[in-house]
Amino acid sequence: MTMAFDSAPTETSDETLLARYAGGDQSAARALTARHAPRALAIARRMLRDQAEAEDVAQEAMLRLWRIAPDWRPGEAKLSTWLYRVTSNLCTDRLRRRRPGVTLDDAPEVSDGAPSVQQSLEARERASALHGAIGTLPERQRIALQLRHFDELSNIEISEVLDTSVEAVESLLGRARRALAAALAERQEELGFR
């Protein structure tokens, strides 16, 4: 999609932008929004599988960022991991309030890059298979795997989001990948990988 919000210059740190926002600079808020809101939304959407709820959660996480801005202590936490952690926790709270059985919907819509009908169907089938397999993982394995392979966070960042050790993250990721591989191994041909 087209982003009407300009990204901040890469040399400006998150902390600097947040301090500028706390000082009344709305352009800093625009830069922080462009930099972090999409990923917060993506995390929430993947965890909640509901676009409207995901937007609510990501907006709430960003709101907490705006509110904490004047009290932010530089060097204590990385803004991105703090925000993703808040997002993840808000999602977890929502998931726990949901009734069992409504946590996962169908796979999200695959964006239309004008492929053929056959390609679209195959891509949709692969996405469905992947998200279906991910949906069967235990919660922390699922979150760790999504943060690693969709949001492309480092293991250190994931450990900060999940408030655990790097070793525990490696263990979560290893188990998650093995479970996914086991679930999808028999479907390689069906999914067009052989």
Partner 1 sequence: MSRADTGQPGAPDRGTDEMLEALFAEARAAEPGPSEAFLARVLGDAADVAAERAAPARPPAPAPRGSLVTRLAGAFGGWRAVAGLAACAAVGFWVGFAGPDAVTDLPVLDTLTGADMTLAYEQTSSEFALLVDSYPEI
| Gap between the Cα atoms of 32 and 15, Å rounded | 10
Quote the Cα angle for 155-46-90, to 5°.
80
The residue among 96 and 152 lying less far from partner 1, judged by its C-beta, is 152
Note whether 15 and 73 are within 8 A (CB).
no
Residue ranges that bind partner 1, judged by CB under 8 A: 1, 3-5, 21-22, 24, 26, 29-30, 33-34, 37-38, 41-42, 45, 55, 58-59, 62-63, 66-67, 69-70, 108-111, 123, 126-127, 129-131, 148-150, 152, 155, 170, 173-174, 177-178, 180-182, 184-185, 188, 191, 193-194
Q: How far is the CB of 152 from partner 1 (least distance, A)?
A: 8
- Supply 120's token pair: 């679209």
The residue among 5 and 102 lying less far from partner 1, judged by its C-beta, is 5
The residue among 140 and 149 lying less far from partner 1, judged by its C-beta, is 149
List b or e across 61-76, with b for residues whose CB sees 16 or more CB atoms inside 10 angstroms: bbeebeeebeebeeee
| Gap between the Cα atoms of 50 and 172, Å rounded | 25
The residue among 41 and 162 lying less far from partner 1, judged by its C-beta, is 41
Q: How far is the CB of 43 from partner 1 (least distance, A)?
A: 11
Q: How far is the CB of 92 from partner 1 (least distance, A)?
A: 21
| Gap between the Cα atoms of 86 and 80, Å rounded | 10
